[in-house]
Amino acid sequence: MNAFRFSAIIFILLSFGKCLAAQEPDSSSALKSMIEAERAFARRAVTHGVRDAFVENLSDEAIIFRPGPVKGKPVWQERKPLALMIRWEPEYVDIAASGDFGYSTGPAEYLGVKPLTPAIGYGYFISIWTKQPDGKWKVALDIGTEAPKLEHTDIKIHFPFGADVKKIFAQISTETEKTSLIGFDEKFNKTYTKNRTVEFFLKNVAPGARFYREGKFPVSQIDSIKLLVLQMADIFWQPIDGAVALSGDMGYTYGSYKIQSEDKPEEGYYFRAWKRENMEQWKIVIDVLSPVPPQK
């Protein structure tokens, strides 16, 4: 979320669909352990400060956006302790079949240090979590968007049905599949540039996908996503990097984008989380645009 990751214990109650569970996952599942890692991260930010919490929870190779992608750990290590009060709680999560790669997202609130003062800002965070060789979860990528004031405080965790069930999977070459996914994203861009149709774009979007745009609440309803796609009809994006889970069913890409509109030209960076069923076509499950702030 631009300068900082806004964070919060505030929830926007969205309508998710029958394929989502609105309850705590099985306590012995990898999904549950990932959720608890996110919650422990949030608690650490309150008890030990934002900077120390990020330094402890980012992996050595973690990417953050400032506004473009950079190695996150050195950025936070070089920061002075921040005079901030930050709290957050995940509200939507999913995990790969391999149980070592997933994402967490939720609404956010950014506070000053004085008690009982209004929030300074609101937003949504999106974090990729990966399990390290020692079994600990670490954040591999962190991005977010600002949002209007959040009103609801009823926090409920949501996840796709069956995400907390252990799965059998065939291990793939993560480097090979990463290259393939980045190539798929690039081909998607080239084909979309030729077609410029909402219908083509939506063929690459999974049911229930969440789209995040600066200054707005995330949307998952198909009609709302259609409107967003129409608003970025002249978009061109170029992937920079990405990653894929050991099970090959979940991954992400990120890169730069430009919207070549005469009325509202825009450029910045994008992030996409992808998922595929039965190793078939990749589908977008999270789509984020993070515009570069206008120069003053």
Do residues 199 and 228 share a domain?
Answer: yes
Residue closest to 123 by CA, chosen among 91, 151, 145, 93: 145
Q: Model's pTM, two decimal places?
A: 0.90
Amino acid 128 reads I
Nearest Cα neighbor of 85 from 110, 108, 106, 56 is 110
CA angle 257, 100, 189 (to 5 degrees): 20
**Same-domain status, 33 and 141:** yes
Domain annotation covers residue 88? yes
In a domain, 192, yes or no: yes
Same domain membership, residue 201 and residue 151: no
Q: Is residue 98 assigned to a domain?
A: yes
Edge-to-edge strands, sheet with 283-291: 205-212, 283-291, 266-275, 250-259, 235-244
Same domain? 97 vs 48: yes
CA distances from 237 to 57, 179, 211, 250, 295 (A): 30, 17, 16, 21, 21
Q: 104 lies in a domain? A: yes
Q: Does one domain contain both 25 and 150?
A: yes
Q: Measured on CA atoms in the order 189, 270, 228, 221, is the torsion positive or negative?
A: positive
3-state helix, strand, coil in the chain (%, to 5): 25, 35, 40
CATH number assigned to the domain comprising residue 214: 3.10.450.50
Tens digit of each residue's pLDDT, the chain (296 residues): 443 343 333 233 333 333 566 688 999 999 999 999 999 999 999 888 899 999 999 999 999 999 899 999 999 999 988 777 778 899 999 999 999 999 999 988 888 777 767 778 899 999 999 999 999 999 999 999 999 987 766 778 999 999 999 999 999 999 999 999 999 999 999 999 998 999 999 999 999 999 999 999 999 999 999 999 998 889 999 999 999 999 999 999 999 999 987 778 899 999 999 999 999 999 999 999 999 987 76
Last residue of a domain, one of 109, 130, 160: 160
**Same domain as 95, residue 192:** no
Cα distances (angstroms) measured from residue 185 to each of 132, 175, 196, 243, 261: 27, 15, 15, 12, 22
Do 190 and 156 fall into the same domain?
Answer: no
Q: What is the pLDDT of residue 153?
A: 66
Q: What SS3 state is found at 151?
A: coil
166 falls within a domain: no
Q: 277 lies in which domain range?
A: 174-291
Boundary residue ending a domain (128, 160, 192): 160
Q: Is residue 5 part of a domain?
A: no
Within this chain, do residues 155 and 181 fall inside the same structural domain, yes or no?
Answer: no
- 149 and 181: one domain? no
Residue 296 lies in a domain: no
Task: List, in sequence order, every residue forming a beta bridge with 239; answer none if it has no partner.
Answer: 255
Cα–Cα dist 57/69, whole Å: 18
Judgement on whether residues 151 and 179 belong to the same structural domain of the protein: no
* Pair (204, 250) in one structural domain: yes
**In the prediction, which pLDDT does 115 show?**
72
Indicate if the alpha-carbon torsion angle 226, 11, 207, 258 is positive or negative: positive
Confirm whether 37 is domain-assigned.
yes
Q: What SS3 class is residue 271?
A: strand
Domains contained in the chain, number: 2
Check residue 21 and give its pLDDT: 61
Same-domain pairing of 235 and 268 = yes
| Domain final residue pick, 100, 127, 160 | 160
